[in-house]
Structure 1
Amino acid sequence: MEEARLNILVVDDEPDICATLAEILEDEGYNVQTAGSAEAAEVLLRDQMVDLVLLDIWMPGEDGVSLLRRWAEAGLEQPVVMMSGHATIETAVQATKLGAYDFIEKPLSLDKTLLTVTHALESSRLQRENRDLRAQAGWVERPSGESPAIRQFREQLQRVAAVDSWALLLGEPGSGKEVAARYLHRQSRRAQGPFVDLRAAAIARPNVAIELFGNEDHGKLTRGRLEVAHGGTLFIDEIADMDLETQARLFSALQERRIIRVGGTTPVPVDVRVIAGSAQDLALAVQSGQFRSDLYYRLSALPLKVPPLSARSADIPALIEEFVRFYGARDGLAARHFAPETLDVLHHYPWPGNVRELQNLVERLLILAEGPEVSAEEVEGALGLDNRLVLVNSNFDGEDFGGTLKRARERFERAFLEYHLARNDWNIARTAEVVGLERTHLYRKLKNLSIALKGERHAGEDG
């Protein structure tokens, strides 16, 4: 895919100036639209996204300063460069106070005009990146770690970033789907464009369409996420929470590369790459009629499975270091050392909340600091674990401590393995990872201790 061309709107009542600027800017690789009046500019700005406005001050009807004032009151974020051959210093100062990026005098200097355009667009890009960074504060820049699972996942993301197809990130809640989506965006040719996220599960269903496509209501215009993401990437997390009507509208809009705002009638062109995230099995959702098959098949052309933290527990020390550095820089929290026995507790914990749970744990341990070192007991308490868990969950009583040491060890091993099997939903591979055994060794242990697997237990109960 070619990099998205930036859009510039030239507003001037002199056709020759509009034509000259359009020719010069198009030669520099920009898309250019022209308008001869404030009214025409309003229509163009309503119907499509622009990255920069070159606005003449003196025009018939509404002048440029008055138009800039209305745009400022409406919250226009695009940079505006004012142009005039008759303006006074006072007019230039007034325009600057209203938010104009710069002021250039007519007759226009080619070099100064191109330099001003370049600087205005770069300033706007940096401001957008700063907003994005503040919005994602607390997250790491890429899926971190050097475990085989995460290295393979990063390689997959890099390969997918090289193409411009839609992508689907599947993973448990908290596993890092948004981090993966941002990393994929930064590695792609759309990296200079915006990254916009939409958490479908956090928005009431009737409002999802407005959030996606925008809204026109009695002259008031609200741009949706698809329009804001023009030239960049839109990440839709938990896409299965969208209703079927919105799914159909999304598929149609992305196929045709244009949208119609809710309450509007004019098609608006959009150029967006969509990355969807889901913790649900979308294939099952399609079978049950809760997810559209056409949207699923388009998304699942590039499915990527985000590995859960329990499958890459070797990455826990690196993640802890990143979180400690982050909370030290952002909140001034003092760093604490995680002792080897503490890391061992974390390594064997199943992490049902994944990376998000680890991040929350580190923040809590730094805030409620009990000294420079984090002890294993402190972590067990924070995670709701202690030495009584196995006994409580296994219904031991005083008589269970009779007999030989070998018999007591078997009872403990049975209780220990049943506890971790239950915590990991009887998943053998994950349980083996958590308890530190080879899968074949774990199978042998289960057989020797007469522990039936989940399917065998249900079969026994049915019989």
Structure 2
Amino acid sequence: MNAQTPRILVVDDEPDIRRLVCEILEDEGYQVATAENAGAARELKKAKAPDLILLDIWMPDTDGITLLKEWVAEEAMLCPVVMMSGHGSVEAAVEATRLGAYDFLEKPLSLAKLLLIVERALEASSLQIENAGLKQQLHADIEPVGKSATVARLKDQLKRLAQHDARVLFVGEAGVGKEMYARYLHNNSAHRDGPFVDVAVGSISPENSAVEFFGKEDAGKIYPGLLERAHKGTLFLGEICGMDKETQLKLLGALESSSFLRVGGSESVRVDVRVVASTRIALDEEVKAGRFRQDLYYLLNEVSLDIQPLREHSEDVPALLSFYIDYFVSQDRLPFRKFSMAAQNFLRNYSWRGNVRELKNLVQRLMILGAGEDIEIDEVKAALGSVISDAVTSHAVPEFFNLPLKEARDHFEKAYLEYHFERTGGSVAKLSAAVGMERTHLYRKLHSLNIKL
């Protein structure tokens, strides 16, 4: 938990519940604020910045589910929210959890369960903040890995481009690290102190794209979109070819004027954003086929940078293997392992159809599923030639077997989906067919597991 006393907001329309919960939590040493309805909850949430919210579902003005939706839409890093209800139902609990609630408490409240959930939720909040800080630091220090002429030339080009505001289009196969190079450009530019906002364009449905990019105004409330959130920084549009034609037109207008209208808004919003994009498909061919606007293509393609596939600079493979071992040791706390020279030599001559992403995922699988400090060539060949389920049923007990069920399932699902993502060439449509999951649910799953498209 944070060094300071955790702040908890209790939202309930019943005075006796508010008083009881407040007394219990204050006795445990927490700072507690109470609200009798959604209106008061909104004000106290802004004023107190709570570390945890206990939120009743049934209230006189706005119900808790609606209020939770509102807060989730407003904040990417919303503190944990525990829902409470005296009319508990499976449907309400499922809906609250789907929206992102940490847990669900039924009334009458169990004192022991209340305190246990509060403690766990605050620990989860603290871990979320810590991880966000680690990721931010990691991204701030990010630098392309490798000493090859290919990587050195790209770094030099990006440093020179960073001194100007030209829009850059990164072109390359799936998994070559286009987002990483975009971050390197941002970190060396005048926008480095601003946000770096990356979006997988293909994951945004056409019906939601206007709100996603430009935000909305509703009943006096403002919900900023991607362009607004990237103000004074960089907006990275991953796989821009996945953008629908209507959004292409609106984005063109916004980039040309550096301004736009929020959905439902009447006043123009001006932004200072450097927009960079990536594609693994030849955009000029998409223009000829009528699927991508020529004027937007020229606007985004002021400078084009080709990111070479890993097989073209395979001398960087050993450095990348070492980098991702250190990454998973520090970020996921996996046991340290190292590749033998024979394994490194074998991987230098491997074709790497999935490029750096495939290499990263291979390292992760070997560190999760393998045993012993040394990674020998036979283990590498087995990992490259077998599906993840074969590895799980091997005689060696995988490390994630020692984790709680939910964490173990997350480790398996992430490795499983990344494996099939490589095999399908980075296509979500093909991945959907391969794993038998409907695309809407698949996008949600990829996002929740932090798998980059």
Q: TM-score range by the shorter chain?
A: 0.5 to 0.7
Largest Rg, 1 or 2: 1
Inter-partner Cα distance in structure 1 for 2:245 and 2:368: 44
Aligned residue number for residue 224 of structure 1: 225
Contact 1:185–1:191 under 8 Å retained in 2: yes
Contact 1:170–1:277 under 8 Å retained in 2: yes
Aligned residue number for residue 444 of structure 1: none
Aligned residue number for residue 269 of structure 2: 268
Contact 2:237–2:277 under 8 Å retained in 1: yes
- Cα–Cα, structure 1 residues 276 and 145, in superposed 2: closer, same or farther, change >3 Å? same
Please report how far the alpha carbon of residue 207 of structure 1 lies from its aligned counterpart in structure 2 after TM superposition.
1.5
Superposed CA deviations along residues 17-65 of structure 1, whole A, max 9, x for unmatched, are xxxxxxxxxxxxxxxxxxxxxxxxxxxxxxxxxxxxxxxxxxxxxxxx9
Contact 2:139–2:183 under 8 Å retained in 1: no
- Cα–Cα, structure 1 residues 132 and 371, in superposed 2: closer, same or farther, change >3 Å? closer
Aligned residue number for residue 151 of structure 1: 152
Aligned residue number for residue 200 of structure 2: 199
Aligned residue number for residue 166 of structure 1: 167
Superposed CA deviations along residues 200-258 of structure 1, whole A, max 9, x for unmatched, are 11222221221111112343421101001111110010111111111111111111111
SS in 2 for 1:259: strand
Please report how far the alpha carbon of residue 142 of structure 1 lies from its aligned counterpart in structure 2 after TM superposition.
1.7
Superposed CA deviations along residues 295-343 of structure 1, whole A, max 9, x for unmatched, are 1112222101111111111111111111111111122222222112111
Which runs of 5 or more residues in structure 1 are unaligned? Answer: 1-64, 78-126, 386-422, 426-463
Alpha-carbon RMSD = 3.0
Which residues in structure 2 correspond to 1:308-457 (within 5 Å)?
A: 308-384=309-385
SS in 1 for 2:277: strand
Inter-partner Cα distance in structure 2 for 1:66 and 1:208: 30
**What TM-score, normalized by structure 2, do the two folds share?**
0.56
Please report how far the alpha carbon of residue 138 of structure 1 lies from its aligned counterpart in structure 2 after TM superposition.
9.1
SS in 2 for 1:271: coil
Inter-partner Cα distance in structure 1 for 2:343 and 2:381: 9
Contact 2:206–2:247 under 8 Å retained in 1: no
Aligned residue number for residue 121 of structure 2: none
Aligned residue number for residue 111 of structure 2: none
Contact 1:139–1:179 under 8 Å retained in 2: no
Residue identity in the other structure for 2:361: N
Contact 1:226–1:272 under 8 Å retained in 2: yes
Superposed CA deviations along residues 425-461 of structure 1, whole A, max 9, x for unmatched, are 9xxxxxxxxxxxxxxxxxxxxxxxxxxxxxxxxxxxx
Query: Are 2:302 and 1:298 equivalent residues in the alignment?
Result: no
Inter-partner Cα distance in structure 1 for 2:156 and 2:382: 37
Which runs of 5 or more residues in structure 2 are unaligned? Answer: 1-39, 50-69, 76-127, 387-422, 426-453
Which residues in structure 2 correspond to 1:169-180 (within 5 Å)?
A: 169-180=170-181
Aligned residue number for residue 58 of structure 1: none
Count of matched residue pairs: 274
**What TM-score, normalized by structure 1, do the two folds share?**
0.55
Aligned residue number for residue 456 of structure 1: none
Q: Percent of aligned pairs with the same residue? A: 43
Aligned residue number for residue 103 of structure 2: none
Inter-partner Cα distance in structure 2 for 1:133 and 1:306: 27
Residue identity in the other structure for 1:210: V
Inter-partner Cα distance in structure 2 for 1:131 and 1:297: 36
